[in-house]
A = this chain, B = another copy of it.
Amino acid sequence: SKLGKMLKKFGSEFLRTRFSSILSKRGRSSGTDKLHSALSAIVGEKNAAWSLAAREQHNHDESFHAGGTPENCVWPNSVEEVSEVAKFCSKNHISMIPFGTGTGMEGGVVPQNKTICVNLTNMDRISDLNLEDFDVKVQPGVTRKSLNRELRDTGLWFPVDPGADASICGMAATGASGTNAIRYGTMKQNVLNLEVVLADGTILNTAGPKRRCRKSSAGYNLTDLFVGSEGTLGFITSTTIRLHGIPESTLAAVCSFPTVADAVNTTIQVLQCSIPIARIELLDSFTIDAVNKYSSLENKVAPTLFLEFHGSQKGTEEQVDQVSEIATLNGGSEFSWASTTEERSQLWQARHDCLYALLAQRPGSKCYSTDVCVPVSVLSEAIQYSKDVLDDSGLTAGTVGHVGDGNFHCLIILDPGNEKELLGVKMAADMIAKRAIDLGGTCTGEHGIGIGKKELLKSELGAEGISVMRSIKNTLDPLNLMNPYKVIE
């Protein structure tokens, strides 16, 4: 097999060098008295911790990536305190990692060297809600669900939905997206302004102190430089975002297809007809089977699209007619409807439960999620290639995808104690990502580079791109203190 050959070729060296951060837990040095006192003086005694328990809560995210444990954790209460912490660390050459909800997928918050962790979630203010302009400012402690709860009676919502109840500032840092991106865009399209603390403590408003208008051509786009920078350029201490009107009508349906290609072709044709679909999610038959077992459902075991339509009553009905016509032409089943809010929640719960359903297939297992995104015309090819690689590697995986954007995840189920399996997973994931890059895609549609994809980023961007990114990093963080060893070396 290809994987067998690669294992033979690179074997243990590959294991040791490329994935050392994943496979070995680095030494956990304890915090020092002096550092703790200095940080306590800034954020207050009760907002600084150096107990192992507190520090170990901040040494991982939802991924497999393991590293060190921070020396100290602090919970600043204001942007000024974040700035003071940064100034102190800058002066003393101490690395800093911003921490939100810890729901990242690529080890973005996992220490790679001696560092402190700055947990920003004490700052949880929602302010400057402008109902006429559809915008609001949120601090890092505000998650998308908590914001949407606050907005409940306003007729507005924030639709970017990566699945996890992530911090909105963290979503900005990661460049997150998810199921609604096809209609409402990713974080990039929804962030209007950021308040950022740079490594040296400078407080920067990326679009100036006040700007929140819908567009601007005023100078370099600093906002989008920080969106997706994964904490390597500074702390995001508040995010001004665009909100959207809750649609008058929401319809959801499920439709199964003979093959993945039929489901993808349906998606392509929906896009070609400019139908403003809100969600179009693919689950392969393996995943459907797992979901059925997990939740005692009776979905047909076949590649399936989960669809959602937002708009006016008439508008959504028209969208449904058009999409069901396209689906039928591609061999799709009748739509199975979720008409009430409860049925709709149940439908999407099934989608969001995929991961747990797959994990339940193999007790004690963990999941590694690939995250490639390709042009939709080559999506079937990329998915088929992924399946071939995973089969070839003897790995078990379900495939789910935000197919309208060309973004899909192979949720690979594995035994985390089995180093050979873990290596196989990483090698398969690399092959899938490299093919995606070759097809005009990206190694990460929404999870970010974090620790594990730095080599892939080089393949994707080329030496010139990496060099420009590095020079920007060096300029804004010359001492390499902000979340070091992430994104680029």
Q: What is the 8 Å Cβ interface bit string for chain A, positions 190-219, against chain B (1 contact, 0 not)?
A: 000000001000111111111111111111
Q: Does A236 contact B (CB under 8 A)?
A: no
Shortest beta-carbon distance, A387 to chain B, in Å? 19
Question: For window 465-486 of chain A, which residues contact chain B by CB distance below 8 Å?
Answer: 465-469, 471-476
Residues of B within 8 A of A314 (CB): 314-315, 318
Q: Does A376 contact B (CB under 8 A)?
A: yes
Report the separation of the CA atoms of residues A468 and B311 in the bound assembly, to the nearest whole angstrom: 41
Shortest beta-carbon distance, A469 to chain B, in Å? 5
Contact partner, A210, options B177, B371, B437, B472, Cβ 8 Å: B437
One of A222-230, A285-293, A421-429 contacting the partner: A222-230
Report the separation of the CA atoms of residues A375 and B240 in the bound assembly, to the nearest whole angstrom: 13
How many chain A residues touch B (CB < 8 A): the figure is 100
Report the separation of the CA atoms of residues A371 and B216 in the bound assembly, to the nearest whole angstrom: 10
Using A273-B245, A438-B210 as known contacts, say yes or no to A471 and B464 having CB atoms under 8 A apart: no
Using A212-B440, A377-B130 as known contacts, say yes or no to A204 and B465 having CB atoms under 8 A apart: yes
In contact, A208 and B465 (Cβ under 8 angstroms): yes
In contact, A213 and B445 (Cβ under 8 angstroms): yes
Beta-carbon nearest neighbor of A221 in chain B: B224
A-B contact pairs, 26 of them (CB 8 A): A135-B375, A176-B217, A189-B189, A198-B468, A203-B464, A205-B464, A208-B465, A211-B460, A213-B375, A214-B373, A214-B375, A216-B373, A217-B371, A217-B446, A217-B447, A217-B448, A218-B448, A218-B449, A218-B456, A219-B449, A219-B466, A219-B487, A221-B225, A274-B311, A314-B314, A314-B315
5 further contact pairs, Cβ within 8 A, besides A220-B473, A314-B315: A189-B189, A208-B465, A215-B405, A215-B442, A218-B448
